[in-house]
Amino acid sequence: MRGPERRAALSAVVLCVAAAVAAEWDAWRPSGKCAISPAPCPAGEVEIENRSVYNICPGCVKTLGENENCDVNSDPCPHSFVCEGGKCLKGECRKEQDKEHATWTPKCDRISNFMPVQCKGSRGDGRCFCWSPKGERLFGEAAWTDATETNMHCSCSLRAWQLKQEGKGAHEAPRCAADGSFEALQCARGVCWCADAKTGAPIRRVVPEGAARLLFCCECSAPHLCAAPFARAN
């Protein structure tokens, strides 16, 4: 095989390999996101973002033990523990979990923040409440049913709490429904929109506050019904 032919063949091989790598990348990361659902981590390990598959998918990492030395470069502390003073210590939520004779057991995230929805009592006759990461009761509650833990997210109440932590005034706080989700109609800085209940983001055209009556947000039972601007849902 002559020099030019050899170079052409090598270029073809390189292009094939590049195409294969690109295809593999797209399979794992469509639209820049991990496309696989990782298996649960075994005991003694926690899931960490961007630790496997081209550093874009979560992976399991072995944790340190209670009171072990820790820093920003070490392995993570156990679930619901925090690195304080160079040691893995129980976070506030974990301390509440471990209290004897507690009337309820809170749910904690990996770094011992309180989960947004906390339920007390029992399913069927108990109630679920909105909670701040620091353990403060927030606005928002609902009866504890089979669907509550799936459908209740308290995102509006959490957003209002975050704005308060940032020193923002009450006029910037979103309007929250009774269960802590975003109300259908949101207005701020002179404009209004029909909002997604979980994110508060507009699901149809944003209009001046004076035209809010044309939105008919409360009659939109699904985002696709609100797609046409100013269209009343049937």
Q: 219: helix, coil or strand? A: helix
pLDDT along the chain (234 residues), means of 10: 62 46 41 65 77 65 87 83 89 87 83 92 90 94 89 94 87 90 91 92 88 75 40 32
- Return the pLDDT at 3: 62
Query: Which pLDDT tens digit goes with each residue over 211-230?
Result: 888 888 865 444 443 433 33
Nearest Cα to Cα of residue 116 among 138, 97, 146: 138
Q: In sequence order, what are the residues at sequence separation of 6 or more whose Cβ sits closer than 8 angstroms to the Cβ of residue 193?
A: 185, 186, 187, 202, 203, 204, 205, 206, 207, 215
pTM of the model: 0.66
The percent of residues above 90 in pLDDT, for the chain, comes to 31
**For 127, which DSSP code?**
E
Q: What Å distances lie between residue 124 and 91, 118, 120, 121, CA to CA? A: 30, 15, 11, 9
